[in-house]
Amino acid sequence: MMDRSRLAKIREMARRMRRNVIELAFKAGPNGAHLGSALSIIELTATLYGGIMRLDPRKPDWLDRDRFILSKGHGSLGLYTALSEVGFITRDQLFSFEEDGGELPGQPSMKQAFGIEFSSGSLGLGLSLGIGSALAGRRQGRDYRVFVLMGDGETNEGSVWEAAMAAAHYRLGGIVVIIDHNGMQSDGCNASIMSIDLESMWKGFSWQTVIVDGHNIESIYCALEKAGRQREGTPLAVIAKTVKGKGISFMENNNEWHHNVLTKARYAVAVAELEANEKNP
Amino acid sequence: MITINPINARNWSRLGPRGTFGLDLLDMGSQDENLLVLSADLCTTSGLDRFRLAYPDRFINTGIAEQNMLGIAGGLAKEGYKVFCSSFAAFASMRSYEMVKLNLGYMGFDIKVVGLAAGFAMGMFGNTHYATEDIALMRAVPGLCIISPADCAEVVKATRAATLYDGPVYLRLTGKAGNPIVYQNEYEFEIGRAITLREGDDIAIIAAGRMVYESIEAAKLLEAKGISATVIDMHTIKPLDTSVIDRSLDKKLIVTVEEHSVIGGLGGAVAEYKCGLKTAPPQLILGIEDRFKKAGSYKYMLEQNRLTALHIADSIMERIRQQIRNGAVKPFSANGNWEKDLSMITK
């Protein structure tokens, strides 16, 4: 049953997260940040942390918590801002992003106290880790779910498909892969770099698939709400159609913003756009 | 509990290092329900059939996918399991090296990677199946413990020690069925503590894996030629037992012997330690030279690479002759005629 107020809450959460992504990227200064790929997953992580996942920020090592693995580690701002929203980390901790020797580097470094399950950054590794977590849950008779968020370009990695075949073979119904399908990767469009049909690939590996609008919270929520509670079954791949750099006009579908430095002038434009959108959603 | 005695040592030698590993893992598995075993479609070859049949729910076959095996191991270890992953050393160390770096190193999970048939044990399978670079790779991963047992009895000791060790381990198994016996009675094995098998005055031979036996035999040949050699089983390559090197600093030469490239292995580890010392004897690094050779049987490959007792003794004598000629070492000989005594055995 769709809970309207819950959806509204997640929308508000996503709005704040997007704003924080811009603030954090600006704060990162000359280090720069992976903006495009964080902005494309905001609604996905907001929905997971704001409405789907079973979590207790007071007990980050709770054995029955749902697990989230950011396989596309460069989307870290999409994760850190969500962790801050639900209380795994404080705002001060969030704003330690990319500090020298800090706990929140450009790509996540495992820290259970912060709700960061695994270190990531090198692509194509998250699903294998997720299979291990899911197999452990099955052994222990727990019904937690394992959500693995990966990029569409990331699926170029062969290790993704080693893991995809294994999850289906082991019948890990508790695993949900979410693919941030923004159609772009580091060197350009998926179609020109390595064109694959994600839906038929995942189907071919015996997964269930569903395609959603990756910026429509209701659509994401409906796809994820009932997914993954069964320990035995067919794993689910959610192909989320997204826009790289979503929400900031000059970043949208512009690969210059895959990783870039946000200057003061650009920051001001981005903030003005977000504030205008808040007034006229 | 399996004990080491001459009968078991003989049986394990017949079984070979892989079979012995499987046998001991079965024993360890009976003591620890948290112990899980993963194989990338090499269950039988890894000697793991016993474990799989005894504990089918604790054995996971990942198919021919070493990267995924190490990834799954990471997830399981994060959830509190002690995970063994085994494959041929060439694949376990190289195909999945990044997962070893991240899951065993960076995240420090309690995973034991077992590299089977390291060195030339795959014989006629050839260079694709030889693992002669794995120590160099594994040594560079922070926090990873590397154990290379000398014989099958030590495989038993090392498997137990690795199981009880709280942290990531690379267990490197060299040799094959019929491995020569170094240990046939109970002895004390401790990770990071080398074992001096023979005391000598002139030189120290530090060896690991299957090369320990060859080194003992080489020491016997050298003795007949007037050279008295200490032989050390450096079963743990990382962390290196540096105290045993400290005790060898009065020798005329330190020799390292390994079934591994001369680059980055045991020899490299010993040299790295020595270069920080004020004075230390010169070092002869015996191992596999830096090029791919034509494949052959195990025996052939050891011969080709001068890693038999005879060749090891010859290489050592040649080096000592050089040192005497260069004036780095004073002439010495048990029989008084060093030129004659130190002539090559194989000539």
- Interface check for B188 against chain A (CB to CB < 8 A): the answer is no
Q: How far is A77 from chain B (nearest CA, A)?
A: 21
pLDDT the model gives residue B195? 98
Query: Which residues make Cβ contacts (< 8 Å) with residue A259, sequence separation at least 6?
Result: A32, A33, A34, A35, A36, A74
Contact check, Cβ <8 Å, B71/A133: no
Query: Which residues make Cβ contacts (< 8 Å) with residue A16, sequence separation at least 6?
Result: A81, A85
Is residue B336 predicted with pLDDT exceeding 70? no
Q: How far is B276 from chain A (nearest CA, A)?
A: 29
Question: Could you count the other beta carbons within 10 Å of the beta carbon of residue A20?
Answer: 22
pLDDT the model gives residue B338? 73
Rounded-to-integer distance, Cα A88 and Cα A85, Å? 8
CATH class of the B6-174 domain in this structure: alpha beta
Band (pLDDT 50/70/90 cuts) for residue B329 is confident
- Average pLDDT for chain A: 96
Looking at this protein, which amino acid is placed at residue A39? L
User: Where do the CATH 3.40.50.920 domains begin and end in chain B?
Assistant: 195-341
A95-132: pLDDT as tens digits:
999 999 999 999 999 999 999 999 999 999 999 999 99
Q: How far is A148 from chain B (nearest CA, A)?
A: 12
Give how many domains chain A has, as a whole number.
Answer: 1
The B residues from 205 to 244 touching A (CB cutoff 8 Å) are none
Contact check, Cβ <8 Å, A163/B63: no
Fold classification of B195-341 (topology level): Rossmann fold (3.40.50)
Band (pLDDT 50/70/90 cuts) for residue A281 is low
pLDDT the model gives residue B335? 64
Collect all residues from A whose CB is shorter than 8 A from any CB in B: 110, 117-119, 122, 125, 127-137, 139-140, 158-159, 162-163, 165-166, 169
Give me the domain span that covers residue A76: 4-279
A43-60: pLDDT as tens digits:
999 999 999 999 999 999
Spell out which residues of chain A touch residue B62, defining contact as CB-CB under 8 Å.
162, 166
Mean pLDDT of B274-280: 96
Contact check, Cβ <8 Å, A129/B62: no
Spell out which residues of chain B touch residue A166, defining contact as CB-CB under 8 Å.
62-63, 65, 68, 72
Percent over 90 (pLDDT), chain A: 94
Q: Which two tokens stand for residue A157?
A: 């990695």
User: Where do the CATH 3.40.50.970 domains begin and end in chain B?
Assistant: 6-174
Q: Can you give the three-state secondary structure of B26-51, one letter per residue?
A: HHHHHHCCCEEEEECCCCCCCCCHHH
CA A94 from chain centre, in angstroms, equals 17
- Interface check for B45 against chain A (CB to CB < 8 A): the answer is no
pTM for this model (two decimals): 0.96
